[in-house]
Amino acid sequence: MDKIRKIIQSKLKEISSLGQGGASFTPGEGMNYATPNAFKGKKGKSKKLKPYFKVGYKMVPDTIDSSKLETIRLFEDELSPFQQERIAAFDDIETYLNKLGPIVSNAKNDTIKFYNENPGSYDIIKSTEMILSYLKNIETLLTETKWIKHYRISI
C-alpha cells in the first residue's frame, strides 16, 4: 500500500509541477486582462524595483514635457567635414523626394487630361517605365548592404 501511495504522490507532484489547471496570464494572446495592481507591491511600487529606488533611481512620469528634454547628438564631434557633407547629402535627397509627390500627382493628372481629350491616342506623355526603373535603382542603392571601398591613388 505504501508503494502505491508513493507512486500516486509522485505522479500528483509531477502533474502539479507542470502547471496543470489554475489561472494564468499570457500577454499578447487573446482577450486577457490583468488588474492594474496585479503585479505591484505596497504603495504601487514593484518589490523587484526596491533596490533601485534605494540607490536613487526614480520612476519616469507618465507624461513627459518635451520642452524639458535635452537633445544630445552622439559622435558629432568625431566626424570629419567630408563625413558631415556625406550625411548632409541625405537631407538634400529627402527634400527632392518630398518635392516629387506633388509633381507625380500633376503628371498623372496631365496624362489623364490628355487621354480624355485624345481618346484614340497611344502617345506616351510621361515615361513611367523609365521613372519606375530609376526609382528601383535608387531603392537598390539605398538598401545595398555591402560597403563600397574607395582607394585614393596618388601619382
Specify if 133 maps to a domain.
yes
Domain count for the chain: 1
Specify if 51 maps to a domain.
no
Phi, psi at 17, each rounded to 5°: -75, -20
Expressed as residue numbers, the domain containing 117 is 80-143
Rounded Cα distance, 142 and 39, in Å: 45
What's residue 145's pLDDT?
66
User: Which stretches of the chain are assigned E, i.e. beta strand?
Assistant: none
User: Rounded to two decimals, what is the model's pTM?
Assistant: 0.42
CB 26, CB 32: distance < 8 Å: yes
The string of pLDDT tens digits covering residues 63-114 is 766 666 666 666 556 778 888 898 899 899 999 999 999 999 999 999 999 9
The string of pLDDT tens digits covering residues 115-148 is 999 999 999 989 999 999 999 998 988 887 666 5
Rounded Cα distance, 57 and 50, in Å: 9
Report the SS3 class of residue 67: helix
| Residue position matching grid coordinates 495592481 | 37
Could you give the count of Cα atoms lying within 13 Å of 105 in the half-sphere of its Cβ?
Answer: 5
